[in-house]
Amino acid sequence: MTSSMPPIRPTYILVDETTVSVPRDPSLLAQAERIAEGYHKCQAAEASQWLKQGLAHLRQGQYTPALSLLQQALQSYRNLGDKERQAKVLLTLASLYYRVADYLWAADYGRQCLRIARDLGDDAIMQQTLGHLGNCYRHMGNLQRALEYMGQSLTLAKKTGDRPGEMRSLNNLAMIYRAKGLTRQAATLYEASLMMATSLGDRSTKLQILQNLGNTYLTLREHPQAIDCYERFLAISESGEGSTDNRTNRRILTQLTLASIAMGDHNRAIVHLQHHLSIACSLGDTKGAAVLLDDLKRSYVALSEARVAVLRPELTSV
C-alpha cells in the first residue's frame, strides 16, 4: 500500500491578533511579472501593427478595412490603459467618419477623444478635436454649437502659439459665420486666415481660402475683390505652387466670368472664357465647349455694343 505525499501548504505567520500573512516566493513573483510584461509588450505590438495597417488603408481610401483595424487597435489600447494612444486612434476614427460624411459618428468619436485629451491635459489633441467637432456640428446644422467648439479651438491655438492651428480655426470660423448669414464677418475672418496662410507659406490652405473668400465677396456683390481672389487663385494654381484639379479651376473661371460681366468688364470676361474653353477642349468636353462658345459670342457682342456706345454717346440715350 503506497501512501501519497501530503500537499505542501504555505506557512502562515501571525502578524497580530487579527491578521495572518502568507510569505510570497520572490522567484514566483518575478516570473509572474515577466509573463505580464511579455503579454503587455505583445499586445502593444499587435495594437501598433493594427494602427499602422489601419492608417495605410485610410490613406488609400479603403475605409471598411481601415475602420476594422482601427477599432481593434482602440480596444487593445483600452485594455492596456494607454490613454495617449487611445486619444490618437479616436481622433483618427473621427476623421475617417468625417471623410465619409457620417457626422454623427464623427462627432461621437470626437467627444470621446476630447474627454481623454482633457484628462491628459494634451492641448494639441484638444485643439484639433475642438476644431473637428466645430466642423461636424456645422455640417449637422447646429451652428451655435459649431461656433462654441471652433471658438474654443481658436482660443487654445492662440494660447499655445499654434499658428497653423489658429489659421485653420479662423478659416473654419469664417465658414460657420457664412452659414449663419453673417457674410461680412466671414470675409473679415477669411482675410485674417489668408494673411496667416501667406505668412506660413501654406499654399494648399491659401488656395482654399482664396476660393472661399472670392465666393464670399461675390455674395456681397463686391466684384473687384472677388475677381482679385479668383485671379490670385489661378495664378498660384497654374504656377504649380498649389495642387488643384480641372473641375475646381473651371468653377473658378465660371465665377470670374460672372463677376467680370457684373462689372461690365467684357474684355476680362472674354479672356477667362477663352481660358475656360481651352480647358474644355483639352478634356474633350464638347458639350461644355459649345456652351462656352455661345457665352463668348454674347460677350463679344456686348463688348462691341459698349465700344459703339463710347464712340457714339448719343446712342445711349435712344
pLDDT in tens, 129-162: 999 999 999 999 999 999 999 999 999 999 999 9
Give the span between the Cα atoms of 150 and 133, in whole angstroms.
8
Q: Where do we find the cell 491659401?
A: 206
Between 103-120 and 123-139, two packed helices, what is the crossing angle to 10 degrees? 160
Per the CB < 8 A criterion, the answer to whether 131 and 168 are in contact is yes
Per the CB < 8 A criterion, the answer to whether 106 and 98 are in contact is yes
Mean pLDDT of the region 1-24: 48
Q: With 60 as the cut, is the pLDDT of residue 3 above it? A: no
pLDDT digits (tens, 9 = 90+) for 182-211: 999 999 999 999 999 999 999 999 999 999
Give the span between the Cα atoms of 289 and 295, in whole angstroms.
10
Let me know the angle formed at the C-alpha of 120 by 117 and 126, rounded to the nearest 5 degrees.
25
What length is written for the chain? 318
Q: Enter the pTM of the model.
A: 0.79
Computed over every residue of the chain, the mean pLDDT equals: 87
Mean pLDDT of the region 73-99: 95
Q: Coil, strand or helix: which one is 252?
A: helix
